[in-house]
Structure 1
Amino acid sequence: MAQEEDIRTQDTNLEDFVADSDTGGRLPRDAFGKAALWYIPLVWSLYQLWIASPLPFILRIGVWNDTQTRAIHLGFAVLLAFIAFPGLKSSPRHRIPLPTWVVAVIGALASSYLFYNYSGVADRTGNPSGMDVAISIIGIVLLMEAARRSLGFPLMGVALFFLAYVFFGSWSGLPEVVQWKGASLNKAMSHMWLTTEGVFGVALGVSSGFVFLFVLFGALLNQAGAGNYFLKLAFAALGHLRGGPAKAAVIASAATGLISGSSIANVVTTGTFTIPLMKKVGFPATKAGAVEVSSSINGVLTPPVMGAVAFLMTEYVGISYVEVVKTAIVPAAISYIALVYIVHLEALKMNMPGTSRMHPVKFMLGAICIIATSIVIAGGTLFLCGVVVDAAQSLFGGAATWVIVAAMAVAYVAAVRFAAKGPDLEMSLESMEHLPPTKEIFKTGIHYLMPILLLMYLLMIERKSPGLSAFWSTIAMLVILATQNPLKAFFRGETDAVAHLRAGFADIADGLIIGARNMIGLAAAMGVAGIIVGAVTLTGIGQVMAEFVEFLSGGNLLAMLFFVAVISIILGMGLPTTANYIVVSSLMAGVVVELGAQNGLIVPLVAVHMFVFYFGIMADVTPPVGLASFAAAAISKGDPLRTGFQAFFYSIRTALLPFLFIFNTDLLLINVGPYQAVFVFIIAMIAMLLFAAGTMNYFMVKSKIWESAILLLVAFTLFQPGYFLNKLQPEFETRAASEIFDRAAAAPDGTSLRVRLIGENLNGDPVDARYLLPLGDAGPDGETRLFDSAGIEFREEDGQLFVDNLNFGGPSEQLGIDFDWELAELDVAADRLPKELFYIPAFLLLGAVYFLQMRRKREQTEGVPA
């Protein structure tokens, strides 16, 4: 009885932790307060579905521009942040005080000012009225308070720092290197609140247009039971292995990463079940919590959603969504595989029991085959869907859409009928220890895979916009929630189908409300991140950060990347995923581009953004502010700081990856063909497993120090074979600048040109650096292709080429290239030995370590001293 009471108390504490972090900890008991926190989130979700649908344009009702929809979006978020999140620990949790209501309404009105006074503000562009400025001040103050309530102080503190720099950055007491000319109150408020350069910029636009719908889709999917389905499926497949609960935690977190964009929610959703079971099979509390934290963090790094960062990256980098997914897939996949291997090595080191004692090599080969087969099946299914849709359009013409919808409905009903043959999955800790066979669990939730496949099909095959793809997938989820239980009741011969239908609509309402409440802090964070971005664009502080990092690193390339990584972790502490990415990319991506170019490091912009994103996310792990570690420790009853440090140790492989793909962009599948992509994935996976074995000091048996060192050397060689080849032969040859147009015209699709440019930056400092100009599809000539793809034009003067025009916001402008810079020379790939030759000595060294350890293992097994 006491044990059950402890479990209930722990569940209550975890619910409070998640509520305080994600959805709001206030639970009013009065009828008005309850109704407010039921109807307002519901209306917000319905509003977001409305603006995402084609209905406003068909009915010509509620057609607003992007700025107005962003304003309404932020108004809902600020209103809910005040009424759902208590302001202080001492604030009442069971009622909403009247002063809170007053401030909440004022905040909502100020946030939606650009909606109801859009034309007036537009007429006064550049010359705001006193009312405009007053509303802007009130709006910014209350927005930051909304962020503090919903997310804690860190993001508000960062925003206050940047606002202070806007107003006091001209103070003579500051070092000259960081001073700027300053801004008046009118100019600053207009920039931050009345234009799309600040709060109502790209970040809030992505939040309103894409992110809300994906969060809502995930909430509905979880409400339908998909989260429990994925968790049980992972445990049924892996629970019998050594350290099975930990391996299941990794896989389940990867699956729930599709549903949740929050690392904290991911930890609590899966950790409530996985952490107690990990402890039961022998994992210490800190290691059990650390495994869950590491796998949950990886869920945010995994396509297709990446905590909504995938959609922000398309806006900031200027590439398609499919390109972002392709870029992120290999690092995320090998990182997850390595974490499963780390868990396996921990189980071997602790001699954990398991009904299956599979050899580690056989285990990893089996896991790799399963993952590869799943990817092939998913890809093949999407391709087949594309073929069927094309055939339907050819056969049925304009009626094809209805035929396809009817076919999907038939497939869905068949999947639910198949699921109805077995009992529904229970959601309890006890049920995890007595699971039915994997195939029995699999058939209970096949219909959950259909909306996910629909989402992937619309994004990857049809290339629809993220917002439209999420909208139709969400509509599919609404249909599933309404019909799955009535259909199951019908197929089981039950007579209470109407009651199930009512329960289905109740689930829809709950899902819509949960989705909206999950967005409160996220939308507020996007708005506050806009303040930071606005400060960066207004003051030019990015240049100051570049000079600061250059000073710290002393011009050393690796030191520069290290300091950027550390600063990204510091900037990301306490921030949600999307706000984290916005802050670190706004401040640090330009630093890597500028200083890297000066030191000969030329990488595509997407690689730079991935670099800072990875290290920003590491802040969720790293003490003292690693919120995910605190959530895991609350479940495991372990020490939060020790859990955080252990999780950071497990996540070293994640911290290693950004350095590797900065120097070897093959890992991001940039300019890599399909067959080479498979080869890159296999080699990178082997390298990551060897890195894990080296850092864990265990391969076939416990490794000696020199054996671990060799494993790390082999891993480095596989990851970066060009490092050794560059010592023997130069990677590039110099060509005359005059060849640029011919080479641009002749280059294959999707490649880049490496150029050296000389000029002066805005501060008058000399610049002599190399840049990578992206080339898209072939054009009529080299000049046109350069402008269309790289956003740059050159003019000739006295036999020299100079930058004559830059496409605003284009790749070249984002790289920091400026007008009138001279094109000094081109770098073209040298004709040299293939770098893959260095794989041969690497694998020979690996073979030597393997045979030595296997001999030692046989001696230990036979009882002979090694």
Structure 2
Amino acid sequence: MAKYDKESTFRTNLGAWGWLTLILGSALTIFQLYTAYRGAYVSLMQGAIHLGAALCLVYLLYPFKPSSSSKRGIPWYDVILAALALYTNFYIIQNYERLINEAIIFGFTYMDQIVATAGIILLLEATRRVVGLPIVIIAMVALLYGLFGNFIPIIGHAGFDWPSLATKMFFSSSAIFGIPIQISSTYIFLFLFFGVILVKTNIGQFFNDLALRLTGRYTGGTAKAAVAASGLQGMVSGSSVANTVGSGSFTIPMMKNAGFKPHFAAASEASASTGGQLMPPIMGAAAFIMASYTGIPYNEIIVIAIIPALLYFSGVFLGTHFEARKQNIRGLTKEELPKTNKLLKRLDLFLPLVIIIGFLLSGRTPTYAALFAIATAFVISFFRQETRMSLKGIIKLLEEGARVALPVIAACATAGIIAGTVTITGLGPKIAGGIIDLAQGQFFLVMFFTMIACIILGMGLPTTANYVVTATMAAPALLAFDVPVIAVHMFVFYFGIVADITPPVCLAAYAGAGIAKANPMKAGVTAVKLAIAAFIIPYVFVTNPILLLQGDANAVNVSISVVTALLGMAAISSAMIGYYVTKVSWLERFALFAGGLLLVYPNFIISLIGVGIFCLITVVQWIRNKNEGTENQQATLS
């Protein structure tokens, strides 16, 4: 995991320092649970405690170089950096009244400027260690733009001096402690902790067994089970790469043993794990930030996101089906599947997920839903021996909750630098203007260039940071047109996420390929084929947002759009894989792909033409398959 997942490069031999990380990690989790129950502090103080404890843990757990992770103990300089990270954030709590009242009027002191500078540097270095360089580079470029904007033509600005820029970044609620870290310190941490409970109590394994029982006996059942299980677990993890590595260690060998080629097994897991970030109700924790950015209630967003997510997974599911047919890979035998009666006895393990979805749809706050789901999962875990935790296990659970959240916390805070710079310099509208000028005002080209920008900006970023960056830097280009706000934000969200499986920097595919011992680039290309829906559907819901339940989205129109879109995904998936009823020619692949695009577009006349093309190819394929079967029988008899 350490090789492919930056989050897993932590120290494995802390020695006596292990007690400190245990206490600090447990304290952070208890603080988050306490404030969720009793109510959060004001945003700047809540964020400072949240970020300070997290950065301290990062310096204690993550070495300067990943290769040093196996060395015993913690170097003295990392202990000092951990203490400084804690102090710079504690400074905000200690001086809170002065910083928000007097400093704004009379100016910040030299000590304020020193602390702000140290806080920014410590944040960037911690983010490099736990998340990686891509987001740090973007943040540093943003800071340089803030400093030297007066020297930049076209998209320039008046420029800020460093003391002014540093204090704006570190002591305000619109940059480092802006919306991303505010959401992280309230909702996101709780849902990540919920995911940890599912894993530690083996409730997550129940999802795997259930998916295998439901799909395992069908053609290519192991791959279909992997897609379903990874989608369920991926929506909580908040990282395509982490979910690929975690789930893939189990699913990829299973797919290879069933007969799937290594690169296809890696691609299936990577595309499903990436799709988990698009799956409501949690959507890799980005849904909470989307609610704040768009002003649309969270319980509405998770309903809006359902149809595109189902289409995405339908495409991946159908792709694995056609590949299994192509390779003649059968399902598992009855003896190889989990026993139905044993699964029925464990159905109560589904209750925490039911509670989350039920509470959110009923209009309860995400905090309330997460707390009840955590409590339910915790209580249920004591009902049977295989899920029950000891006192030591509970304490380790609290520490693990903090550990899992560290990459997200660091990424959200660093993304705040980027979002803050865009806000105070007015960069967003300038980038939007540049994209529109480049496209010469042509709406389709604006969408295409925005897509490219989102894929580039999203490379190597965790889900939450990915969305913050694309929403602040790329979304304004589409907002300049008459497009619903939610459609624009879903558009940039989708293309930011699929950067994880888009060559050349397809980190999730690389991680899957490492486990499968496959060619990484081949795995990346195959993952794009399986996840082709994510490259098509966003164009559809921007041009005609019925699939997002916007516009003329009555029951009849939505039903027709969903049915034709599912048929379209079947046609497109078969074209990408090269198999339908039987193997398809290049001409048939082109016709299937074109017909699929027409079917996906939510317009009755256009979809009707797509149905005609699809039916024609179906008849041609059926006749050819029948003839091939007759010829094979005659050859056998002769």
TM over 0.5, yes or no?
yes
2:484 corresponds to 1:507? no
- 2:374 match: 474
2:198 corresponds to 1:221? yes
2:35 corresponds to 1:51? yes
Alpha-carbon shift at residue 509 of structure 1 (Å): 2.2
Alpha-carbon shift at residue 841 of structure 1 (Å): 3.8
Question: Does the CA contact (< 8 Å) of 1:44 and 1:516 recur in 2?
Answer: yes
2:481 corresponds to 1:713? no
Alpha-carbon shift at residue 675 of structure 1 (Å): 4.9
| CA distance in 1: counterparts of 2:609 and 2:442, whole angstroms | 30
| CA distance in 2: counterparts of 1:189 and 1:160, whole angstroms | 12
- 1:615 match: 495
Alpha-carbon shift at residue 29 of structure 1 (Å): 4.3
Alpha-carbon shift at residue 697 of structure 1 (Å): 3.0
- What code does the residue aligned with 1:154 have? P
Question: Does the CA contact (< 8 Å) of 1:23 and 1:520 recur in 2?
Answer: no
- Pairing of 1:587-598 with structure 2 (within 5 A): 587-594=473-480, 597=481
TM-score (norm 1): 0.70
Question: Does the CA contact (< 8 Å) of 1:663 and 1:720 recur in 2?
Answer: no
Question: Does the CA contact (< 8 Å) of 1:619 and 1:625 recur in 2?
Answer: yes
Alpha-carbon shift at residue 544 of structure 1 (Å): 2.5
After superposition, what is the alpha-carbon deviation per residue over 1:208-267, rounded to whole angstroms, capped at 9, x for unaligned? 010000000111112111221111222233223222211111111122124422212221
| CA distance in 1: counterparts of 2:441 and 2:76, whole angstroms | 57
- What code does the residue aligned with 1:35 have? W
2:615 corresponds to 1:847? yes
Question: Does the CA contact (< 8 Å) of 2:569 and 2:596 recur in 1?
Answer: yes
Alpha-carbon shift at residue 547 of structure 1 (Å): 3.0
- What code does the residue aligned with 2:421 have? A
Task: Choose from 632, 641, 645 the match for 2:525.
Answer: 645
- 1:37 match: 21
Alpha-carbon shift at residue 348 of structure 1 (Å): 1.4
- Pairing of 1:670-681 with structure 2 (within 5 A): 670-671=550-551, 672-681=553-562
| Higher Rg | 1
- Pairing of 1:709-858 with structure 2 (within 5 A): 709-720=590-601, 722=603, 836-858=604-626
- 2:148 match: 168
| CA distance in 2: counterparts of 1:562 and 1:652, whole angstroms | 15
After superposition, what is the alpha-carbon deviation per residue over 1:456-500, rounded to whole angstroms, capped at 9, x for unaligned? 121111x1111122122212222233x2236x8xxxxxxxxxxx9
| CA distance in 2: counterparts of 1:236 and 1:466, whole angstroms | 31
Alpha-carbon shift at residue 73 of structure 1 (Å): 0.2
- 1:321 match: 298
Question: Does the CA contact (< 8 Å) of 2:467 and 2:496 recur in 1?
Answer: yes
TM-score (norm 2): 0.94
Classify 1:258/1:445 alpha carbon distance in 2 versus 1 (closer, same or farther; 3 Å). farther
After superposition, what is the alpha-carbon deviation per residue over 1:683-736, rounded to whole angstroms, capped at 9, x for unaligned? 2211211221223332222223333333233322222254xxxxxxxxxxxxxx
| CA distance in 2: counterparts of 1:660 and 1:459, whole angstroms | 27
| CA distance in 2: counterparts of 1:652 and 1:718, whole angstroms | 15
- What code does the residue aligned with 2:32 have? Q
User: Is the partner of 1:338 in helix, strand or coil?
Assistant: helix
Question: Does the CA contact (< 8 Å) of 1:231 and 1:270 recur in 2?
Answer: no
More relative contact order, 1 or 2 (CA 8 Å, 6+ apart): 2
CA RMSD of aligned residues (A): 2.1
| CA distance in 2: counterparts of 1:628 and 1:433, whole angstroms | 33
2:51 corresponds to 1:150? no
- What code does the residue aligned with 2:18 have? K
**Structure (1 or 2) with the greater helix fraction:** 2
Alpha-carbon shift at residue 163 of structure 1 (Å): 0.4
User: Is the partner of 2:150 in helix, strand or coil?
Assistant: coil
After superposition, what is the alpha-carbon deviation per residue over 1:752-803, rounded to whole angstroms, capped at 9, x for unaligned? xxxxxxxxxxxxxxxxxxxxxxxxxxxxxxxxxxxxxxxxxxxxxxxxxxxx
- What code does the residue aligned with 2:277 have? V
| CA distance in 2: counterparts of 1:848 and 1:646, whole angstroms | 27
Question: Does the CA contact (< 8 Å) of 1:23 and 1:518 recur in 2?
Answer: no
Identity among equivalent pairs (%): 32
Alpha-carbon shift at residue 297 of structure 1 (Å): 0.6
2:15 corresponds to 1:114? no
- What code does the residue aligned with 2:527 have? A
| CA distance in 1: counterparts of 2:446 and 2:493, whole angstroms | 16
Question: Does the CA contact (< 8 Å) of 2:546 and 2:561 recur in 1?
Answer: yes
Question: Does the CA contact (< 8 Å) of 1:209 and 1:467 recur in 2?
Answer: yes
Question: Does the CA contact (< 8 Å) of 1:621 and 1:647 recur in 2?
Answer: yes
2:353 corresponds to 1:452? yes
- 2:117 match: 137
- What code does the residue aligned with 1:333 have? L
User: Is the partner of 1:471 in helix, strand or coil?
Assistant: helix
- Pairing of 1:311-350 with structure 2 (within 5 A): 311-350=288-327
Classify 1:645/1:717 alpha carbon distance in 2 versus 1 (closer, same or farther; 3 Å). closer
Name the count of aligned residue pairs: 629
Question: Does the CA contact (< 8 Å) of 2:32 and 2:189 recur in 1?
Answer: yes
Task: Choose from 83, 88, 92 the match for 1:105.
Answer: 83
Alpha-carbon shift at residue 649 of structure 1 (Å): 2.6
| CA distance in 1: counterparts of 2:239 and 2:341, whole angstroms | 30
Q: Unpaired segments of 5 or more residues in structure 2?
A: none
Classify 1:272/1:592 alpha carbon distance in 2 versus 1 (closer, same or farther; 3 Å). same
Question: Does the CA contact (< 8 Å) of 2:574 and 2:592 recur in 1?
Answer: yes
2:10 corresponds to 1:25? yes
